[in-house]
């Protein structure tokens, strides 16, 4: 099975967008990608939601020469589990992120300068509501499923609670129904503040904070299990480390430090354990055996909470040495469960 080619980046302008806390974004843009075609009835769509520091490039390649396809390419495409010959797949860059959607590095139309640390606080509910506006503009009437990994799993849970009748299925991968709390925010804020160019988050004209971001990214890649995922491609440890250094350097040129804080603060406030009974969709919960961020020890508590809330939920343990990135690097170890979920959502008779 091959990757999609000729994938294009697109953007949607929502105009004014009122956040849950009452703050108004005078202009809000979402970057997104789509794969496949929307059915005439607008009911064959799957929304794919990305991780904390990732983008809307979930599948395929922009050109045939691209070395690296989208982050869930093993699951999305012609003949794959999320088969783009039948499904219309949408992946939207999160509100507050750094890959084309409105975020702290965007220019505030009211001042003509980047929002920076003045970007308003957002919630997971704001992120998914903005996505709902995008889907409506695309003509999507109903979702087959929302599927997301890590921070994308937060979004999937929020979708199920915020718009319970808008989808039939939810797939939550390497994630949980609550975030890590304020300690993670404090850790990130302290690391950024140590950069001599930080300037209270107003570093856009002071040389940037690329070295700090690169160091943070390298540490994250190691924690996520990238070294193990790259081992087959780079058997030599030194070559593998060089490849990871290059990945970190490239990311540091595109991601914004204030976006890290904006999204992490939203995640710290995310906790929907008490609202799981609102979910009406079938739910697949997937955890990786070696994930340090969302270890499989979470499964009993989460599955018990889902059962207590009356949610039709199934658990799948992704056996892998690749930690948090296993769903991307070894799709064959979990997509059979996603296939079963999607098949169970098909109309019968």
Closest Cα partner for 189 from 179, 198, 181?
198
Per the listing, tokens 């739910």 go with 283
Which one of 322, 324, 327, 328 is the catalytic residue? 324
Query: How far is residue 296's CA from residue 45's CA, in Å, rounded to a whole number?
Result: 30
Helix axes 257-269, 151-162, angle to 10 degrees: 50
Closest Cα partner for 172 from 38, 330, 283?
283
Per the listing, tokens 């995008």 go with 134
Sequential DSSP letters for 288-303: ETT-SSS-GGGHHHHH
Query: How far is residue 99's CA from residue 103's CA, in Å, rounded to a whole number?
Result: 9
Catalytic status, residue 288: no
Give the burial string for 199-232 (b: 16+ CB within 10 Å, else e): bebebbeeebbbebbbebbbebbeebbbbbbbee
Catalytic status, residue 291: yes
Considering only CA atoms, give the Rg of the chain.
19
Tokens of 222: 């190691």
Which one of 291, 322, 327, 329 is the catalytic residue? 291
Catalytic status, residue 41: no
Query: How far is residue 251's CA from residue 342's CA, in Å, rounded to a whole number?
Result: 33
How far is residue 225 from each of residues 68, 75, 184, 205, 270, measured CA to CA in Å? 18, 19, 19, 34, 24
Query: How far is residue 150's CA from residue 288's CA, in Å, rounded to a whole number?
Result: 11
Which one of 150, 259, 328, 329 is the catalytic residue? 150
Tokens of 14: 């929502």
Residues designated catalytic? 150, 291, 324
């Amino acid at each position: 099975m091959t990757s999609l080619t000729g994938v294009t980046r697109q953007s949607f302008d929502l105009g004014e967008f009122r956040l849950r806390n009452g703050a108004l974004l005078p202009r809000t843009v979402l970057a997104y990608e789509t794969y496949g075609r929307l059915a005439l009835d607008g009911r064959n769509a799957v929304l794919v939601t990305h991780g904390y520091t990732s983008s809307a490039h979930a599948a395929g390649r922009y050109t045939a020469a691209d070395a690296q396809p989208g982050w869930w390419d093993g699951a999305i495409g012609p003949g794959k589990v999320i088969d783009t010959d039948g499904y219309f797949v949408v992946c939207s860059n999160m509100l507050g992120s750094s890959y084309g959607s409105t975020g702290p590095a965007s220019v505030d139309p009211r001042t003509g300068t980047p929002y920076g640390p003045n970007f308003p606080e957002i919630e997971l509910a704001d992120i998914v509501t903005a996505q709902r506006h995008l889907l409506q503009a695309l003509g999507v009437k109903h979702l087959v499923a929302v599927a997301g990994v890590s921070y994308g799993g937060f979004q999937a849970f929020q979708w199920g609670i915020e718009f319970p009748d808008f989808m039939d299925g939810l797939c939550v991968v390497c994630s949980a129904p609550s975030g890590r709390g304020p300690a993670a925010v404090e850790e990130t804020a302290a690391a950024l503040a140590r950069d001599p160019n930080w300037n209270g988050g107003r570093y856009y004209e002071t040389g940037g904070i690329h070295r700090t971001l690169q160091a943070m990214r390298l540490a994250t890649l190691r924690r996520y299990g990238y070294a193990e995922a790259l081992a087959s491609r780079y058997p030599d440890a030194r070559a593998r480390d060089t490849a990871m250094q290059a990945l970190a350097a490239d990311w540091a040129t595109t991601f914004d430090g204030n976006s890290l804080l904006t999204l992490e603060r939203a995640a710290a406030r995310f906790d929907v354990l008490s609202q799981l009974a609102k979910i009406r969709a079938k739910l697949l919960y997937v955890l990786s055996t070696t994930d340090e961020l969302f270890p499989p020890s979470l499964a009993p508590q989460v599955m018990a909470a889902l059962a207590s809330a009356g949610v039709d939920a199934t658990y799948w343990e992704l056996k892998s040495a690749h930690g948090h990135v296993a769903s991307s690097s070894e799709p064959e170890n979990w997509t059979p469960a996603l296939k079963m979920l999607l098949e169970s959502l098909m109309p019968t008779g």
